[in-house]
Structure 1
Amino acid sequence: MGSFKGHIVPGTLFLVIGIWHIWCCVVRYVSNPKNFRVRVWNPVPGFGGRVKYLELYVIAVGAFIDLCIEFLYSTHVKIFVNGVLNPSHMNDFEHSGMLLMFFIFGIIELSKDKVSFLPLPEGALCFIVSAAFTAEYLLFYFHSTTHKGLEGYYHLILVLLIVLCIIATIAGALMPTSFPADLCSGISITLQGLWFYQTAFTLYGPMMPDGCRLKGNEISCGSTGHEVYGELLANFQLFVQVLVVLVGVTGAYIYMRSKNLVAQLL
């Protein structure tokens, strides 16, 4: 069982990184389509280069803070009980493992680009990111917390979006000049962030479907009909999110394309 904050925090990280990835991908392609290359992360321009690595700091620091929340705060530092991992907080330990993978990626990337300690090619970094998403996929697919009913359906959609992230990042490694692969990576990360938000507001917030409620640590629906209605509502919510993201991507491309054409004419 999760919580509102437990979905909002990672959702915010995925959403911010995903939108930034989409924007930078479109800008780089429109500016120079012939020399376009897939990038795992994108530097922030301006300010004399002082915020160049902001994306990597957001990934590393954000993952580390969330890791501390899951591993220390949520468990009340009761990590071991009778010499074994506290069985009451196995889901928190699993979340910590997922966040650790993204933290490691952020540190590896900073080591490569800022201090030139690990001179890895971009394709290898794509595989490292795909490994982090794979760890996330395994976490939610083989979760120690059994998701059933409506809650299980929302988490099933989340798992499918994580699979898209894995496929997109691997495609970026195999096709380093592919604009669609890089763009799909940003879109899938953005959709994952949005779905974390949707899950938080639906299952633990004010958007709970009629006939269903949060009781104790479980989502219960009054009848099969109410549960089916909730699942159909989830499908519609996902459709709206996909539509919004695609419209946003199209708008960003049209804007950058027109701006580039005006710059060429001048």
Structure 2
Amino acid sequence: MSGFVYHAFTSSALMSLGLYHLICTTRNQLKSPRDYTTKPYHPFSYNHHQFTKHIQLYLIIICLFIAFIHQTVISFDSDPLVKGRSPVHHFTSLQSAGVISLFLILSTALLISETTNLLPFPPDLFFGTASALFFLQYSVSSSSASLQTSGLEAKCDSVSSTISALSAVLCIILACHPKLFVADVGLGASICLQGLWSLQTGLSLYVDAFIPDGCHKLLDVVNGVEGSTKCDLEDSKLRATAILDLMFVVHVLIVILILIVTYSVTAKVVGVRRFGTYEALPTSSGSAADNNHIQMKAMSGTQA
């Protein structure tokens, strides 16, 4: 049960962060298309209180700290399948905890940069660093997928690594082209997708009603340890993998719908400013036009 609770917590945190980023990015672009540039985070501009203005960063730091503690603690869970404590589970969990700690340091550095003058942190450096951390997360998830003894868990880790790779690419694009609105929106969408997939992973691995037919949890293995959810036959594993592929497509569709609805609602609230079209200038008429008209004397006797 603890495995599902952690994935549900991760999903809610990532979905909230991604949706907030989508709304703020869209609002900034609609309010001032020409002056738009990407931002590492969006403070609550309506409130000038120091804590409330940066509450998003405080919440991110708290969530990352909880995730770090969780990954560190579960790394010491025993795995009876390998006669005691599993070195594979221990080291992969510590790798995940290490990546989370790097994101925690990055968020703390951003908070210090925004609240003090001790650590200037330009946006391009932030996105470049975030790209490196997302790529590291991709590497850790890929390694975890290759070491899993359960095909179902390996598939979940593999899809998660793909989303992390997408986030890494979008971050490096934003570091080089900070005015690229599409990449900024894509980053928020990728965070939402990672949140939805975290929920799907928790449901597929730890909730009996959502575990595919032919697969089941092993009662003598702690939830979250590799091999805790197994498929009995090869056909069952292939069927479960196909179901996860289908669910991934469904989650992508949900994220696209969220993106469209977010843009539509934000555009309705903020309003759209269009540039690049020409409007007819007001012309004078009547007596005003006659007064401004100057009769030119005809020129004669000139040669071309």
TM-score by length of 2: 0.77
Number of residue pairs aligned between Structure 1 and Structure 2: 255
Displacement, 1:76?
A: 6.2
Q: Judge conservation of contact 1:4–1:200 (CA < 8 Å) in 2.
A: yes
Paired residues of 2:146 and 2:154 also in contact (CA < 8 A): no
Q: Contact conserved, 1:150 with 1:227, CA < 8 A, in 2? A: yes
Q: Cα 1:102–1:47, aligned 2, differ >3 Å: closer, same or farther?
A: same
What SS class does the counterpart of residue 34 from structure 1 fall into? coil
Change (3 A) 1:165 1:144: closer
User: What residue in structure 1 maps to residue 271 of structure 2?
Assistant: 261
Cα deviation, residue 145, structure 1: 8.1
In structure 1, the residue matched to 2:161 is 159
Map of 1:95 onto structure 2: 96
Alignment match of 1:208 (pick from 201, 208, 211): 211
Kindly indicate whether the alpha-carbon contact (under 8 Å) linking 2:76 and 2:90 is maintained by their aligned counterparts in 1: no
What letter is aligned with 1:190? C
1:28 match: 28
Which consecutive residues of structure 2, in runs of 5 or more, have no partner in the other structure? 78-85, 222-226, 275-304
Let me know the Cα RMSD of the aligned residues: 2.5
The amino acid that maps onto 1:14 is L
- How far does the alpha carbon of each residue in 1:184-225 deviate from its partner, in whole angstroms, 9 at most, with x for none? 110111101110110001111131011111223432223232
Report the Cα offset of residue 98 of structure 1: 1.2
Aligned to 1:224: 234
CA distance in 1, matches of 2:145, 2:268: 50
Structure number with bigger Rg: 2
Residue 36 of structure 1: how far off its partner (Å): 0.9
Q: Share of identical aligned residues, percent?
A: 23
Matched position secondary structure for 1:220 = strand
Give the aligned partner of residue 250 of structure 2.
240
Partner of residue 296, structure 2: none
Report the secondary structure of 2:144's partner residue: coil
Q: Which secondary structure does the structure 2 equivalent of 1:3 belong to?
A: helix
- Shift in Å at residue 262 of structure 1? 8.8
Name the aligned partner's letter for residue 200 of structure 1: G
Contact 2:99 2:137 in 1 (8 A): yes
Offset at 1:62?
1.3
Unpaired segments of 5 or more residues in structure 1? 78-85
Q: Deviations over 1:29-86 (max 9, x none)?
A: 1111111111121112334444211221122121112212322x33569xxxxxxxx9
The range that moved more, 51-60 or 163-172, is: 51-60
CA deviation map 1:157-179 (0-9, x unaligned): 11101101101111111111000
Query: Which stretches of structure 1, 4 residues or longer, exceed 6 Å deviation after superposition?
Result: none
The code of the aligned residue for 1:116 comes to: N
